[in-house]
Amino acid sequence: MLVSTSWLKEHQSDPNLVILDTRPKTMFLYGHLAQSQSLSIEQVVRFDQYGSNLVIEQKKIIELFNNLGIDGNKTVVLIGDSMDPSTARIAWTLMYFGHEKTFLLDANASELQKHGFKLTRQMSSYEPTKFSPKINSEIRIESDFLKDNLNNFQILDARSLQEFIGGHLPNSKLIPFTEGIGYNGKLFRDKKSLEALFLQNQISKDKEIVCYCMHGHRASSLFLQLNIAGFDKVKLYDGSFVEWHGKQLPLE
C-alpha cells in the first residue's frame, strides 16, 4: 500500500504510472512533482442534504478516472501530507471502485525537495483511458444497515477527544487518526507499531470494524492504518457523524 521515495524516483517516468497530488489545487499550482496531476478531495465526494461527504456516483468517477488516465493497467501513486486525510479518502475511493494498484507515497508532499525531487509548475496530462469499476462493497457501510447492527461491529471514532465527548455513535471507541501518523516525514507509523496500537485498544482482527469521523476523511486514514496493520475486516462509514446526526439516529 505504501511506496518509498526511492521507488518513486526509479519509476517516476514509467508510462504505466499515474501520480496524483491530493493537496488543495492552489498548493499544487504553486509547485508539484513532474508527471503528477491534481486530484483534490472535493472531486471524489458528493454532498447530501445533511452535508455528508458520500462516495461519488459511479458515472462521475468513470469520467474522472478516464480523464486522469487511470485504467486497470495503471499503477496509481497518491501524494499528500500525513495530517491531511484527503490522501487516504481518495485512496479509499480508488479501492472502493476496484482499482487494486493503488499506493501512497510514504513521505509528506511538503518535504519532497528534501528527498531530492524537483518541483515544477508545468502541467502534465495523460491520454484518456477507459476505467472499468468493480465496486468493492465490503469496504463501505451505510447508516441504515449500521443502525440495525451496531452490536455486530467494532466501531472506531477517528475524531478528537473533544468531538468524541460531545457525542458519538453508540458502542464506539475513540482512536484519533493522529495516533497512527508517522514520524520523521513518514505518512504512517510502521506496521508493527500500528498493530500494537490497535491491539492495545482491544481491537480484534476476527471481528468486523467500522471507522467513522465527522465527514469520513479522518476515518479513511484510520481505515488505511488498520489495513497496513493487518486488519482486513474494515469498513468505512463515509456518511459518518454528519449524516448520523442529521438523521437523528441515537448518540451517546
pLDDT tens digits, 185-200: 899 999 999 999 999 9
| 107 close to 5: Cβ distance less than 8 angstroms | yes
Measuring CA to CA, which residue among 48, 38, 160, 163 is closest to residue 109?
A: 38
pLDDT for the residue 244? 98
The 10s digit of each residue's pLDDT in 61-104 is 999 999 999 999 999 999 999 999 999 999 999 999 999 999 99
Q: Report residue 126: phi and psi, to 5°.
A: -120, 160
pLDDT mean over 111-126: 90
Burial per residue of 65-98, b for 16 or more beta-carbon CB atoms within 10 angstroms, e otherwise: beebbbbeebbbbbbbbbebbbbbbbbbbbbbbe
Q: Which cell numbers hold the place of 25?
A: 489545487
Q: Report residue 84: phi and psi, to 5°.
A: -105, 105
Q: Which cell numbers hold the place of 252?
A: 451517546
Find the angle CA(90)-CA(189)-CA(88) to the nearest 5 degrees. Answer: 5
Q: Which cell numbers hold the place of 179?
A: 495516533
Instruction: Give the contacts of 107 (CB within 8 A, at least 6 positions apart).
Output: 4, 5, 115, 185, 186, 187
Is the model's pLDDT at 127 over the cut of 90?
no
pLDDT for the residue 102? 98
Q: Where are the beta strands (DSSP E) in 81-135?
A: 102-108, 119-120
Measuring CA to CA, which residue among 188, 248, 193 is closest to residue 220?
A: 188
| 93 close to 61: Cβ distance less than 8 angstroms | yes
CATH class of 2-120: alpha beta
pLDDT mean over 134-152: 97
Q: Which cell numbers hold the place of 99?
A: 482499482
CA-to-CA separations, 100 to 6, 58, 75, in angstroms, rounded: 22, 17, 8
Q: Count CB neighbours of 216 within 10 A.
A: 29
The 10s digit of each residue's pLDDT in 196-237 is 999 999 999 999 999 999 999 999 999 999 999 999 999 999
Q: Which cell numbers hold the place of 185?
A: 516525514
- In the chain, CATH 3.40.250.10 covers 2-120, 137-246
Q: Which amino acid is at 121?
A: R
Q: Is 137-246 CATH 3.40.630.30?
A: no
Is the model's pLDDT at 126 over the cut of 90?
no
Task: Burial-class residue 190 by CB neighbours within 10 Å (0-12, 13-18, 19+).
Answer: middle
Q: Count CB neighbours of 246 within 10 A.
A: 15
d(CA 34, CA 133): 27
pLDDT for the residue 139? 98
Q: Which cell numbers hold the place of 251?
A: 448518540
